[in-house]
Chains A and B, each alone.
Chain A
Amino acid sequence: MDESIIRIKDARKSFGHVHALRGVSLEVAKGEVVLVIGPSGSGKSTLLRSINRLEHLSSGEIWVENDSVTSPHADIRRIREEVGMVFQSFNLFPHLTVLDNISLAPVIVRRDSGAEAKTRARALLERVGLSDKAASYPDELSGGQQQRVAIARALAMQPKIMLFDEPTSALDPEMIKEVLDVMLDLAKEGMTMLVVSHEMGFARAAADRVVFMDEGLVVESGPPGELFAAPKEERTQRFLEHIL
């Protein structure tokens, strides 16, 4: 696949003597939606966070488009502008209104004009169904609403890739759908997405590929239909029995 927009080669990462990643290689094509599943502690977050260098790999290489993320000379801030990230705990800025949460980075990172950034922020809010919340503060919103704002905030930088680290795990069940719907829309529009999640409905509806990780390694991967119906590895089978 020469259309790969993310290329990960033999990524290894240790925290002291904990080996979070033990040689992961993975390519994600432009427009592809890849779901990463695996037990807690298997290295899923570490893998995602290495892509925008919130974690520094111990060894191995990662490219986003044609830029090496892992090179010491990488212009990491420019790369991060291209890579949006959505966290399990939302991490909205509590001292800023919803609108400012979304428009701050475009203004101070990309030097957009304030008016332009606010116009786009309003459009994004409409897209995630929260037009009426522009002036609210994050702690006045439900978890599902906060996560939709967080997605809008990431999209405001007009990224080419979106990383989602368990975006619905901290949500009450009745709020999961509103977030997944936003993600589904994004997937349909052709966004490249790398999603850590165990939402099987989302996997079946949107994922092109599912990657199963365990103990810092990719155990197997394949289209959701195949992987869920007929996993090749015993570890995958056992894990799927737990979550399906």
Chain B
Amino acid sequence: MSLNDSRSNGKRSAPREASAAPTITVTDSALIPSVGEKSLLSAWNISFFGAIAILILLPVLRPKPFVEILAFVPDGLVATFSVTIESIFFALILGLLAGLGRIARTKVINRIATIYVEVIRGIPLLVQLFYIYYALGPLLHLRGTASAVAAMSICYGAYLGEIFRAGIQAIPKGQMEAALALGMSRTTALWRIVLPQTVKVILPPIGNEAIALLKDSSLVSILAVSDLLRRGREYASTTFYYLESFTIVALIYLVMTLFFSRLVGIMEAHLRYHGRKHH
């Protein structure tokens, strides 16, 4: 969950604690294939097509619980996707604000943004979910899904804020200076010159965060949100087909995250090799 994951292109400046010491970074996206890897037996191919094959084979070979599970569980996909997409949307807004706040010259704004990022990153997402759902939800009259989305957005906004900040700081200072020298205001220069260049740098890490969020959205099943995982639990607890239900749930998550990881990988390669031409 950071900009300096192993596949970042070298131009990207590492976020603040850049040091000479060697670092290892284990990201959420270890399964993203390097695009050069064409082999049919690549880890990604085996996992992705293997998971799909099992999803097809199980109901064929053992129709008894699996057809029923496959009919029951995917209803939760709607909730999973809507929580994910809404959370990403609001997290992007919060993240942009936090990122801009972190580079703001006004001390108060800078301090507020930094505190937001530090506090949120220091609290486990599950705790935040409980906090917002049980402690703040009733106060703010948020219903289940809304408080889930609020918690996920606030949490991921902090991580995205660091990506925005690092992305903005990766743009050479001369760009802002050239814009200022032409008479642009700092704000105009930021929106017209710096941020458009930032997009290319931050799109892949934002994609990775979106995938992480898709996975973390399973936490909302603990609240009263009928997402994929919760549907699986509901089915299992009435039929006692635990192994079967959770196998299907796990496989569906796996297929989705592998699919989106591939998409991010392709996008990143495209940006790296062709992004410079802007056509």
Contact = CB atoms under 8 A, between A and B. Distances in A.
A163 to B, nearest CB: 8
B175 A93 contact: yes
B133 to A, nearest CB: 42
B191 to A, nearest CB: 10
B181 A108 contact: no
Contact of A108 (B174, B178, B184, B196): B184
B183 A95 contact: no
Nearest to B279: A137
A105 interface: yes
Contacts of B197: 93-95
B174 A77 contact: no
Interface stretch (A80-88, A212-220, A228-236): A80-88
A150 B278 CA distance: 20
B188 interface: yes
B178 A93 contact: yes
A139 B188 CA distance: 23
A1 to B, nearest CB: 26
A154 B278 contact: no
A139 B276 CA distance: 8
B181 A77 contact: no
A54 B183 contact: no
B136 to A, nearest CB: 41
B177 interface: yes
Interface residues of A, number: 28
Interface string A91-107: 11111000000001100
A78 B175 CA distance: 19
A12 interface: no
Interface residues of B, number: 20
Interface string A61-85: 0000000000000000110110111
A157 B178 CA distance: 13
B180 A80 contact: yes
A109 B181 contact: no
Contacts of A87: 174, 177-178
Contacts of B188: 108-109
A95 B278 contact: yes
B181 A54 contact: yes
Nearest to A52: B181
A4 interface: no
Nearest to B177: A54
Nearest to B188: A108
A94 B197 CA distance: 8
Nearest to B186: A77
Contacts of A104: 192
B259 to A, nearest CB: 30
Contacts of B177: 54, 87, 91
Interface in B162-183: 172, 174-175, 177-183
B198 to A, nearest CB: 10
A109 B276 contact: no
B277 A137 contact: yes
A89 interface: yes
Contacts of B193: 93
Contact of A91 (B175, B185, B278): B175
A188 B148 CA distance: 68
Nearest to A139: B276
A44 interface: no
Contacts of B182: 80-81, 105, 109, 153-154, 157
Given A80-B180, A93-B197, 9 more contacts: A78-B183, A81-B182, A84-B181, A91-B172, A91-B177, A94-B276, A95-B197, A105-B184, A108-B192
8 contacts: A52-B180, A80-B181, A87-B178, A89-B172, A93-B175, A94-B276, A105-B179, A154-B181
Interface of B: 172, 174-175, 177-185, 188, 192-193, 196-197, 276-278
**Pairs of residues from A and B, 8 with the lowest C-beta to C-beta distance, nearest first:** A91-B178, A105-B182, A91-B174, A85-B181, A81-B183, A109-B183, A80-B183, A77-B183
